A and B are shown apart, each in its own frame.
Chain A
């Protein structure tokens, strides 16, 4: 089990010594049981750090933010940022390294092991508890969660309330870290693509019915894009205007922003948006599942990425985020790549 006290101790120490500029971790929110991302620079505040099954966020997104901030600063403080990473999050670090977006020295990784479980799916939890309001959720031994509600505490088997991504997780232990908390426990994942396979098993007609309904709901709040640590482009295909404007950019050039996707939240535009997003993440998505978690309309976005992950694995034997030195999926090929679909 991850000992929170150890984590706090290390955090205090690295802040005190000035080894890191600040630490990105989890802290208790103002209301409810869901922790919030915390940015801690005062060693005394390290006390606020928390670690529990509701630490769902992939904090590596904020490394991207930091990187962007630094670029604008005249005298940037280039000390590393301490960041708490779960297994999945650490894979995101590897992808950012692979894409040379960050250097290994930019981060000091405080790894946490998910051991036998993972993080909770808020919706599943609410369903299981039938409306009881959760106050606190903690890891327990033997793959259970200890849930405290307004009416008392109870043990719940983690698998009942675990986020889907954790059920199909390939990295319950960080793949890259500077210090790690918790044990490395081998966990067998028998069906890493089961969620995708359930969709694939549908007839083509039913698949379309499913996706039409789901993607019709999209209001294009772009939370799925915004939460993704891989979505760090300065300009996005959905932006209505070019951000890359120079003093000599002509009005015509500014107007030339390609409208691959119109602003109308219509089905066709939503599909192009979501498929483009998925393609953009081909060989990059590390399945932290954040896109799906944050979607206010509950669109199962993760399926699209997972499908991509599955094809990359099956067709090209490519796995994301385990090796920062491998060439990326779409900038490499093998002679034996499948081509039976090509006439």
Chain B
């Protein structure tokens, strides 16, 4: 049997909530698939559309942007700007025909280690049947 496809996910995690939430998952030893490479950013509001496009171009099968819940942003309102921006990026990506499942956003608080693991588990499970992301991937 051929080896199962293992999607590669890039996760932009805000430092204060989502990265801390993922740390909590670690401290609590909650197991989840190793398909995700976290990139800690200061705030979900700092995630530029170029980060997302770039990750897909460089071969990500899925991209996650995760920040603090509305109202909990360490920087008061960065996640609200992120919410708006990401909605637009998501719309564009779907418009050109990328599978919508490949780009996700979530709110994960520092206390939601479990939620983080669930998001990653579900993400990996959704991506597996889709196979590798080739549409935006750079082709040498």
Contact = CB atoms under 8 A, between A and B. Distances in A.
Interface of A: 196, 199-200, 204-212, 215, 237, 260, 262, 266-269, 271-272, 275-276, 278-279, 282, 303-304, 307-308, 311-312, 315-316, 329-333, 335, 337-339, 341-343
Contacts of B77: 333
7 A-B pairs with the lowest CB-CB distances in the bound complex, closest first: A208-B97, A207-B97, A333-B80, A343-B106, A268-B138, A211-B96, A311-B91
Nearest to B98: A208
A255 B80 CA distance: 34
B49 to A, nearest CB: 4
6 contacts: A267-B139, A269-B57, A271-B135, A272-B57, A335-B70, A335-B80
Contact of B95 (A199, A316, A341): A199
B97 A209 contact: yes
Interface string B74-112: 000100110111111111111111111000111100000
Contact of B96 (A196, A271, A276, A316): A271
Contacts of A332: 84
Interface of B: 49-50, 53-54, 57, 70, 77, 80-81, 83-100, 104-107, 119, 135-139
Contact of B136 (A237, A272, A338): A272
| B interface secondary structure, majority | helix
Contacts of A268: 57, 136-139
Given A275-B49, A343-B119, A304 B87 contact: no
Nearest to A338: B87
Contact of B97 (A205, A330, A339, A342): A205
A330 B85 contact: yes
A279 B92 contact: yes
B20 to A, nearest CB: 17
Contacts of B49: 275-276, 279
A315 B87 contact: yes
A269 B138 CA distance: 7
A211 B93 CA distance: 11
Given A268-B138, A272-B57, 20 more contacts: A204-B94, A204-B99, A206-B97, A207-B96, A208-B96, A208-B98, A211-B97, A266-B139, A268-B137, A271-B53, A279-B88, A308-B88, A308-B92, A311-B87, A311-B88, A333-B77, A333-B84, A339-B87, A341-B90, A343-B119
A236 to B, nearest CB: 12
Given A205-B97, A208-B96, A304-B92, A342 B85 contact: no
Contact of B107 (A272, A278, A342): A342
A112 B136 CA distance: 43
Nearest to A342: B105
Contacts, number: 116
B107 A337 contact: no
Contacts of A337: 80, 83-84, 87
A330 B81 contact: yes
Nearest to B134: A268
A272 B80 contact: no
B124 to A, nearest CB: 14
Nearest to B119: A343
Contacts of A329: 84
A215 B49 CA distance: 19
Nearest to B65: A342
B104 A308 contact: no
A237 B51 CA distance: 13
A212 B135 CA distance: 8
A331 B81 contact: yes
Contact of A307 (B84, B95, B99): B95
Contacts of A338: 87
B50 to A, nearest CB: 5
Nearest to A208: B97
Contacts of A196: 95
B83 A208 contact: no
A168 B99 CA distance: 28
Contact of A208 (B85, B119, B135): B135
